[in-house]
Amino acid sequence: MGEKTDIWQGTLALMALKTLETMGPQHGYGLARRIEQTSGDQLQLNYGTLYPALLRLEQEGYIRSRWGVSENNRRAKFYELTKAGQRKIRKAAAEWEQTTEIIARFLSPAEEA
């Protein structure tokens, strides 16, 4: 397996929100593992980056947290998407699509006139 890729700034929040939308409530470790799995193990999350991002998303009202018990029977904080988070996903996904289309124009070979 090759070297792990760094996560682009601003994409971690979208990946976390989309993962919560798809998987339902997750604790931080499970969320990190799922993001890494979805990337085909091309990404490696730094917990020093993930937890502040989750805190920021919670403060912004896009997710909420509650304490529960993990599958290992340990106390864990579970995160879940809010209605505002669902709206944020739609908006951020549209912005991401537009951004990737713009970047693709720069990376594709110039069309012949």
pLDDT average, residue stretch 25-54: 91
Asked, for residue 51, whether it belongs to a domain, the answer is yes
Asked, for residue 46, whether it belongs to a domain, the answer is yes
Q: pLDDT by residue (tens digit) across 47-91?
A: 788 999 999 999 999 999 999 998 889 999 999 999 999 999 999
Query: Which structural domain range is residue 30 located in?
Result: 11-107
Of the segments 38-52, 71-85, 98-112, which one has the largest average pLDDT value?
A: 71-85
Asked, for residue 76, whether it belongs to a domain, the answer is yes
Domain CATH number, residue 26: 1.10.10.10
Asked, for residue 6, whether it belongs to a domain, the answer is no
| 3-state secondary structure string across the chain | CCCCECCCCCHHHHHHHHHHHHHCCEEHHHHHHHHHHHCCCCECCCHHHHHHHHHHHHHCCCEEEEEEECCCCCEEEEEEECHHHHHHHHHHHHHHHHHHHHHHHHHCCCCCC
- Does 113 score more than 50 pLDDT? no
Q: How many domains does the chain have?
A: 1
